[in-house]
Amino acid sequence: DTVVFDGADHHKTMIGRAVTVLDASVEDCVAWELLRVTRAKMKKQLEEEGGLPRTVTPINGHSHIFQNCIDLKVPSFAIREWVGLCVWKKVDETTLVVCLEDYEDEERFPKGGAGRKYVRASAESYWKYEKLADSKGLPQTRVTYCQSVDLKGYIPKSLTNGKIVWTLMYLSQMREHFDRSLECDARDRAEVVKLIEVAEFDWDLGEDTLKRFEKLFEDKKGSERPANNNFGLSESKVYAELIAGHGWGRTIVKIRAKLEEVAAFVWNFASRANMKISEDVERTYEKEDEEVSQGKFFRKVVGRRQHLESSHHSHHRDRSFESVMTFSWLDEDTALILFSPKEEKKKNQQVLPRRSSVFARGSLSDHGGQNLGGAYKAKELVAIRLRKSTEGGTRLDYACSLELGPGISHGACKAFIGKRLEEIWKISIYFQRLHPLEEYKTKDGIALAYDLMWKANSAKMRLERLNEVLKESRAMREVVAELPWFGKMLSAAARGNLTMNRAVSTKLICVSDPEAIQIGKNLIPSLKSKKLVEAGVDVWKLQNKAIKELMEKHDWFLPMIVIMSKGIVKTAAWGLLWRVTIGGALSLGDLATDILVLLQFWNGGEKMSTFKDLSLISLSASILLQLMVVTFQNRKKKMGKLLKEWAIVLLGMKGPWDAYRVAIGAEQEKDTEFDPIMEMSYSKGIEIFAESIPAILIQSSAILSALESGESISRTAYISLLVSMFSTGFVCATISYDTDTNPEKRAASPQFYGLVPDNGTKRALLFVSMTTMSSCLVMMKSLLLISLGKIKLIYCFAYFFGEVAIYLVMKIVRGDFTYWLPLEGCLKILMSILMRVAVQIIGAFTGTVHFRHPYETGGLYFTLNFFAPLVGMIILLVTLEQSEGTYLGAETIEFLRLTTTLLGSVLFFFLGAFLLLMNKDYRWTFFAIDTGPQFARRQFLEGDDLLKSDMFLINKSYWADIKVQVETWVKGSWEEWEEEKPDWFTDEWKALVPESMKPESRRSIGKSEGSSDEEIDSGGKQREGSKKKRKGVSRQRGGAAWSEDEGERESESESAGGQRSSNFESEKSLAGVQISRKITSLRVVPKNAGVSRMDLLRAKKASHNAKIQPLGGTGSLLVGGLDQEEFKREMSRRGSLF
């Protein structure tokens, strides 16, 4: 508790008091306080105060003189200096006090700091240390700290109050130093785990109760993901009603800990960790009676008090909940924890003693949880389903339904539910931080990154979160112990400041602190230079040798830094500014200048009517095609979402909107066809094909017509032409650059991707070269076509369509006409025609470097296309000069000559720069003659499994000639992939493999086995499967069982004659206990094999008509679907189930 009083009128005196309890002995606490100039404290003094004086002058064993100087961090305020006499005394065996008061000695400590402009302040402090009874084996000391401070001078009241709180936080630093909460909570969990493992439950939840809680896991209609969702890897949904403040929420998260550990953590309702995670005002619980403590059943009454804030961050009355908390096993892999409202106590009913735990652990609570203090009594219905995951760890499924009372806004209710869901994600973070470095894998790196970026929306918040993780994560402490510079490197990266990129070639073990800071700073310019975060991290790795070695040594570091970088880019202003400005400004500028030129055509009268009509057709075609793409992408979405996307296109904001979504790292939305990057690529391609290239053709034609007629040409026309030209070049260079530097592309096809060098400066210059080359080519190609059209329109069409026809004939003759997309039937033919024509037109106009790929035009044909416009212009100019003005006027010919000379010179200059800057190992790709099928076959025959896996991502006609080799490879390696689980061996990839190529044992296994362990589908229903079939004995405890979703458990049923399976659901009453459960797996068991009673509950949904019958003689039984009487008789013979 902290109390602040104001002093006299002429100056401000601060008086404060704080109390806390420490996990240490009295002697340890006093020693830590009196040792004021330790290395750790002086280091902190240097960081916070810049090395201001702090000295200790011993007098005797019980006293010393303490000098301390502090900068108030207020402009124009002088530094404050304190000089005090500190004395300690042992009052009795359990109490020790320390006092500090002002000390005057002008000779040794002159006022003003020996000529320095310090103001001598005054302070009196008192510490009282009282020994308390040990708590769970840990010594306890209560510390009371009182202080009175006079800063001297006139100090504003707000600053005075803020500073006294800051001084009292010294006690929090002491508590943090001695905190042993992890050890204390671990000991408590271990005790509960033992009880869970041996517990016997003889109580019945009841079928009605189970059904009531089961409904909690059903999604509410109208539920949505929480606003500003920061739940990392969890799946969360919330729903709120305006009636009586009712809200519902659900979240699913995987926790890297054993089920028993997680259950024990939740059961320790008032543990220190639970209090810190929930941030509750107070938590109470009834003391378990002897039966509970002996593990006969798990049930207790708990209470909690929480703050309730409105959506505008104003405070409502606190909400208090009093609930009955129960724990039960459903089977050997599943446990259930329930919270239900506590019924009102009847008269004369015995009340168990209560214990209280408050968030401010050091504060004293007089009411002990009995007095609600004006809190509104609310109700909660909570179900926590814990299931062992096939990948290890625990899957926690949390669902809650709350009644917060009337007068609660919709936003406040959803925010309160969201806070409840955050607690579950924090539990996963808690356990993640307990694992040592030697256990870290790739998924741990991803989880660590989400922990680092939790609600870190600014540089300050990122640094605070980073310091917390480095301190509390066991693995990170081990990394810092091994590499002391690791924290400084991450801190420099987390700041997100734009600096100059300077490569560091020092080895991992030799990195100094300044070099580590520079390495961290290098991450930001690397990310800025790339549109894809993965590609930016790849640049960073290649530029800094220590990072490359670190990624090779720890495979968790790469995914961690990628996710962390996405968070930095998402929240850093430069990230959005760079991408939206560069990616969208050119698009907007091109559209704006096109509209200005269109208006000029509109006002140009009859002469310009043709250009006006063609411009309108071009813009309309671009908008129409983009609307078609948007409609196809969002056709499964609601009409509101579709209308929003249409509005973005019609307003001309599609380019900036796509750039924004890519910049923030938006993932592919559900029920969409492709991710944001692919959607942006299609939009840019349409913009080039239907808007930019036609605009250049139309405006070039208008300029040449004006030259022919001797009319003046407006500056706007030239500006619009240049903007369209460089906008087209920028987009084409971006497509080639991002595709080539994509780490996934380089890993999947290293023999083609890798043209762009690793050096950052070279990459930037190469990008400029590609942009300029494409801009020059599109201008030169347009002038060639327009000039031919001016001579004779048929020449223009003959040249244009002749190029396309030659390309298509060449593809057909070489057996390379089918496009690489994995399509069939008429759609394959239609898409092949459209894509081949589009690629030829765009490639011929722009020289997009990526189109040299064998799947597109091919290397040699690309090179011929690249030089065709220049050769064509030279031939045209020679012909025009020989015609002596027969076809075009002298001014027009002179304009074409000057323009061609300028464009050709610039083109050859940047082409030379491009060839010098690119990786020379990839120059051969510009002269390759491989077709798409030849390239695919070579990639399969010469590549590793990663390269071979691409066969099912392309059209099967490409590998039809090696189908036998592909099938042999799949069948021979499938089992190995099932065990090793390479990154490319995903559910989506499995679905692409024809059933005939899969091993026979895998053909009949549906998608459920290949699907992820648990998901939430669009309807909200739980859908589960397993990568490996579950084996083991199902266990059912107590009279209660859970009616699980269909398909939730899969296991094999084996018999002498083969495999059989059948299904049934039964509702039966045994020993007076209601059971509603799917008995799931069949198994052939010998009569005398001593099978446990739970073997009969091993399951995969037996059928209603299956019976117990002899199989293979009288020595075995087929445990199939049992009717009620037969089940009772069999259980009676083998022993009672309960």
What is the tens place of the pLDDT at every residue in 1012-1049?
A: 333 333 333 333 333 333 333 333 333 333 333 333 33
Count of H helices and E strands in the chain? 38, 26
Question: Mind listing the pLDDT tens digit for each residue in 974-1003?
Answer: 888 887 778 788 777 888 888 888 887 665
Own/partner contacts of 347-351, CB < 8 Å, gap of 24 or more, are none
Q: For residues 1004 and 195, which has the higher predicted lDDT (pLDDT)?
A: 195
For 413-437, letters b (16+ CB in 10 Å) and e give: bbbbbbbbbbebbbbbbbbbbbbeb
Per-residue confidence (pLDDT) for residue 292, from 0 to 100:
53
Q: How confident is the model at residue 1137 (pLDDT cuts 50, 70, 90)?
A: very low
Amino acid (one-letter) located at 691: E
Name, of 16-20, 221-225, 615-619, 712-716, the range with top average pLDDT.
16-20
Residues in CB range of 156: below 8 A, 6 or more apart: 12
Question: Mind listing the pLDDT tens digit for each residue in 77-104?
Answer: 888 888 999 999 999 989 999 999 999 8
pTM equals 0.58
Per-residue confidence (pLDDT) for residue 242, from 0 to 100:
59
Q: For residues 802 and 1135, which has the higher predicted lDDT (pLDDT)?
A: 802
Amino acid (one-letter) located at 989: W
Kindly report the number of other CB atoms within 10 A of residue 553's CB atom. 10
Q: Distance (Å, rounded) from C-alpha 200 to C-alpha 376?
A: 37
Compute CA distances 474 → 180, 471, 640, whole Å. Answer: 14, 8, 47
Section 1047-1072 average pLDDT: 33
**pLDDT over threshold 50, residue 125:** yes
Question: Mind listing the pLDDT tens digit for each residue in 728-767?
Answer: 888 888 888 877 877 667 777 788 888 888 776 787 889 8
Residue that has been written with the tokens 């007095």 in this structure? 371
Per-residue confidence (pLDDT) for residue 398, from 0 to 100:
92
Section 1096-1105 average pLDDT: 34
Name the least confident of 483-492, 678-687, 748-757, 868-877: 678-687
**pLDDT over threshold 60, residue 359:** no
Per-residue confidence (pLDDT) for residue 315, from 0 to 100:
60
Per-residue confidence (pLDDT) for residue 243, from 0 to 100:
61
**pLDDT over threshold 70, residue 788:** yes
Q: What is the mean pLDDT of the chain?
A: 76
Per-residue confidence (pLDDT) for residue 1096, from 0 to 100:
34
Q: For residues 94 and 686, which has the higher predicted lDDT (pLDDT)?
A: 94
Kindly state the DSSP code that residue 342 receives in the 8-state scheme: P
Contact 1099, 1049 (CB under 8 A): yes
Per-residue confidence (pLDDT) for residue 368, from 0 to 100:
36
Q: Kindly compute the dihedral angle of the four CA atoms of residues 514, 520, 525, 531, in this order, to the nearest 10 degrees.
A: 170
* Alpha carbon 75 to its chain's center: 41
**pLDDT over threshold 70, residue 1112:** no
Section 189-198 average pLDDT: 83
Question: Mind listing the pLDDT tens digit for each residue in 805-829?
Answer: 999 999 999 999 999 888 888 888 8
Q: How confident is the model at residue 312 (pLDDT cuts 50, 70, 90)?
A: low
CA angle 297, 300, 305 (to 5 degrees): 155
Kindly state the DSSP code that residue 758 receives in the 8-state scheme: S
Q: Distance (Å, rounded) from C-alpha 263 to C-alpha 193?
A: 8
Compute CA distances 1101 → 214, 831, 1005, 1051, 1120, whole Å. Answer: 19, 45, 16, 10, 9
Q: Kindly compute the dihedral angle of the four CA atoms of residues 896, 902, 904, 909, in this order, to the nearest 10 degrees.
A: 180
**pLDDT over threshold 60, residue 577:** no
Section 687-716 average pLDDT: 78
- Bridge partners of 248, per DSSP, are 239, 401
**pLDDT over threshold 80, residue 305:** yes
Own/partner contacts of 750-758, CB < 8 Å, gap of 24 or more, are 751/939, 752/853, 752/854, 752/922, 752/925, 752/935, 754/919, 754/921, 754/922, 755/849, 755/918, 755/919, 755/922, 755/925, 756/918, 756/919, 757/917, 757/918, 757/919, 758/539, 758/542, 758/543
- Bridge partners of 82, per DSSP, are 68
Q: For residues 103 and 412, which has the higher predicted lDDT (pLDDT)?
A: 103
Per-residue confidence (pLDDT) for residue 584, from 0 to 100:
62
